[in-house]
A and B are shown apart, each in its own frame.
Chain A
């Protein structure tokens, strides 16, 4: 487990105060479009393009939507067509330089997991094109009651995917690590001449929310839990609103729709995020619905996180960000659901031993 934490030590680092770090954010704007967490309303945060570096938030629990919104937009035009001659045009996909500043380790892992699904089989052109020329700068966070990324193998200080990682020591004290050549070059261009190296002591960070088992043991539960009582118990409280899917960093399902203009000459094909918790998600032509009941949909969603893709990816397709729990109006908590499954599993296994 500690291997990833130790890996920070191998990187060159520099200490910056708040003013310097904001200056650095401003400098990044000369390198491309910069996106960073901003305050959104009273209690929420959101990744937005940086206009004024003084508005960037360094210390935040999580944003409403994860980074997927930049690579697979909530609503996007896939093509524009003309009915008379049956022709179509593809829109231009923007692949200019983008720098994502202040990303938490679990959100980075969310992007890496989407890279995995979208580059296999039939590669997802629009996603992969937008994903080009992206640089990620990570930042540490203090786990709140919803974070459980530690339980799915993602430490706060996990640097995979980052060019730079920032450890928040306190409000005016940031340790900036150059994790790869791109990161080191950026810091040098900004004007950093002297890097420190060697021993670095990380702050102890404890996750309050924890899965009862190591994630490596979850597949054995999902192997057997298809008819467990937990599914029905959870869905008694569920509204089927789909919030959990929409805010999830590793959910990428979409629906496609054609629309035409009023003269019925031209039209466009758009796609928007869809959600396996919604009524019509599993409905096919003719009106047959393969997962009509909420408990079937809940079961599918969790299998999708801990079993189906996990079987070939090796890690859960849940990154432990806690968004699904925080944004659930019915207060259904992912950690509690998985722990209840573990509990039911233990009870059932006891009977059969």
Chain B
């Protein structure tokens, strides 16, 4: 833990719905405790102040314009530790669905005759442009995980985060397997950490936390085929949150 002075923390947002930023403001009671250890120096959603330097920068949203590239490089330069928060920042998220279409067609559809006024790039996660120290996955990221990582960083310790499938958390809860009930589920390939929240309520896992690292993509498509989904359907469903991680 830092002895002299409080840790300077800043929040930034790029292309996204700002849900990950906003759900931090809902941490009212918990935030008061952690504010004993940190100063929030920049947070557009909550204050006007600006700062030159940040011990920790939490960044939401994906990179999707040339201007974003400049700004994220600038933030990186000013930050000691940079944490990507939420699906858009960690793997491009839903924004990346545009990447499977021709970029000019996308601009045409959105901006019509003004398309030349709005330069655009394929939607990218932060790590495609700058070094990212830690990632908090999910759409939106969960408050529990945010606090867990935040605490670890304040203590100067590497946060312990799962790199295993949602199936693990589902089995620890002894949930009946959705796939075996004939319900679509991306649990076997999706990174855990949500406590298998959706499957525990009988809802399918849609992969919002991104894939576990080193996924066996062919095998995962085979599994979905085995449960009655076509290759097109399987790829479509995996694409929703994972375009930038798909190998096809």
- The answer to whether A259 touches B148 (Cβ under 8 A) is yes
- The answer to whether B176 touches A64 (Cβ under 8 A) is yes
Q: Which has the most chain A C-beta neighbours within 10 Å: B160, B168, B188, B226?
A: B168
Q: Is B26 an interface residue (CB 8 A)?
A: no
Instruction: Please give, as numbers and ranges, the residues of chain A lying within 8 Å of B155 by CB-CB distance.
Output: 260, 264
Please tell me which stretch of B29-37, B88-96, B111-119 contacts chain A, meaning at least 4 of its Cβ atoms lie within 8 angstroms of it. B29-37
With A239-B219, A279-B164, A331-B226 already in contact, the answer to whether A262 and B33 are too (CB < 8 A) is yes
Interface residue ranges of A167-222 to B (CB < 8 Å)? none
Instruction: Please give, as numbers and ranges, the residues of chain B lying within 8 Å of A243 by CB-CB distance.
Output: 167, 171, 188
Bound CA–CA A84/B214 (angstroms):
41
Taking CB as reference atom, which chain A residue is nearest B176?
A41
Which listed residue (A237, A257, A279) contacts B160, Cβ 8 A? A257
Bound CA–CA A237/B226 (angstroms):
12
Q: Is B147 an interface residue (CB 8 A)?
A: yes
Please tell me which stretch of B49-57, B79-87, B177-185, B240-248 contacts chain A, meaning at least 4 of its Cβ atoms lie within 8 angstroms of it. B177-185
- The answer to whether A327 touches B177 (Cβ under 8 A) is yes
Instruction: Please give, as numbers and ranges, the residues of chain A lying within 8 Å of B160 by CB-CB distance.
Output: 257
Distance in Å: Cβ of A63 to nearest Cβ of chain B? 8
Instruction: Please give, as numbers and ranges, the residues of chain A lying within 8 Å of B164 by CB-CB distance.
Output: 241-242, 275, 278-280
Q: When each residue 183-194 of chain B gets 1 if its CB lies under 8 Å from chain A and 0 otherwise, what string results?
A: 000011100000
Q: Is A40 an interface residue (CB 8 A)?
A: yes
Q: Is B132 an interface residue (CB 8 A)?
A: no
Taking CB as reference atom, which chain A residue is nearest B177?
A327
Bound CA–CA A106/B180 (angstroms):
23
- The answer to whether B176 touches A40 (Cβ under 8 A) is yes
Distance in Å: Cβ of B94 to nearest Cβ of chain A? 24
Please tell me which stretch of A42-50, A153-161, A301-309 contacts chain B, meaning at least 4 of its Cβ atoms lie within 8 angstroms of it. A42-50
With A40-B176, A43-B180, A65-B171 already in contact, the answer to whether A262 and B189 are too (CB < 8 A) is no
Which listed residue (B168, B220, B223, B226) contacts A275, Cβ 8 A? B168
Q: Which has the most chain B C-beta neighbours within 10 Å: A64, A69, A273, A294?
A: A64
Q: Is A32 an interface residue (CB 8 A)?
A: no
In the complex, which range does the number of interface residues on chain B fall in?
35 or more
- The answer to whether A241 touches B189 (Cβ under 8 A) is yes
Q: Is B172 an interface residue (CB 8 A)?
A: yes
- The answer to whether A239 touches B171 (Cβ under 8 A) is no
Bound CA–CA A54/B238 (angstroms):
43
With A239-B215, A239-B223, A263-B33 already in contact, the answer to whether A64 and B171 are too (CB < 8 A) is yes
Instruction: Please give, as numbers and ranges, the residues of chain A lying within 8 Å of B214 by CB-CB distance.
Output: 240, 279, 292, 294
Distance in Å: Cβ of B178 to nearest Cβ of chain A? 10
Distance in Å: Cβ of A34 to nearest Cβ of chain B? 18
With A40-B176, A64-B176 already in contact, the answer to whether A241 and B188 are too (CB < 8 A) is yes
With A260-B155, A264-B1, A331-B226 already in contact, the answer to whether A239 and B172 are too (CB < 8 A) is no
Q: Is A75 an interface residue (CB 8 A)?
A: yes
Interface residue ranges of A219-273 to B (CB < 8 Å)? 235-243, 246-247, 257, 259-264, 272-273
- The answer to whether B176 touches A43 (Cβ under 8 A) is yes
Distance in Å: Cβ of A253 to nearest Cβ of chain B? 12
Instruction: Please give, as numbers and ranges, the residues of chain A lying within 8 Å of B176 by CB-CB distance.
Output: 40-44, 64
With A247-B171, A273-B172 already in contact, the answer to whether A239 and B1 are too (CB < 8 A) is no
Bound CA–CA A239/B172 (angstroms):
18
Q: Is B206 an interface residue (CB 8 A)?
A: no
Q: Is A330 an interface residue (CB 8 A)?
A: yes
Instruction: Please give, as numbers and ranges, the residues of chain A lying within 8 Å of B97 by CB-CB distance.
Output: none
With A272-B172, A279-B213 already in contact, the answer to whether A264 and B163 are too (CB < 8 A) is no
- The answer to whether A46 touches B174 (Cβ under 8 A) is yes
Q: Is B109 an interface residue (CB 8 A)?
A: no
Bound CA–CA A65/B174 (angstroms):
7
Bound CA–CA A236/B217 (angstroms):
10
With A239-B189, A242-B164, A262-B147 already in contact, the answer to whether A74 and B219 are too (CB < 8 A) is no
Instruction: Please give, as numbers and ranges, the residues of chain A lying within 8 Å of B163 by CB-CB distance.
Output: 278-280
Instruction: Please give, as numbers and ranges, the residues of chain A lying within 8 Å of B219 by CB-CB distance.
Output: 236-239, 330
Q: When each residue 39-79 of chain A gets 1 if its CB lies under 8 Å from chain B and 0 otherwise, what string results?
A: 01111101000000000000000001100010000110000
- The answer to whether B172 touches A74 (Cβ under 8 A) is yes
Instruction: Please give, as numbers and ranges, the residues of chain A lying within 8 Å of B128 by CB-CB distance.
Output: none
What are 15 A-to-B residue pairs whose CB atoms are below 8 Å? A42-B176, A44-B177, A64-B175, A64-B176, A74-B173, A239-B216, A242-B168, A243-B188, A259-B148, A262-B33, A275-B164, A278-B164, A279-B164, A280-B164, A329-B223
Interface residues of A (CB under 8 A from B): 40-44, 46, 64-65, 69, 74-75, 235-243, 246-247, 257, 259-264, 272-273, 275, 278-280, 292, 294, 327, 329-331
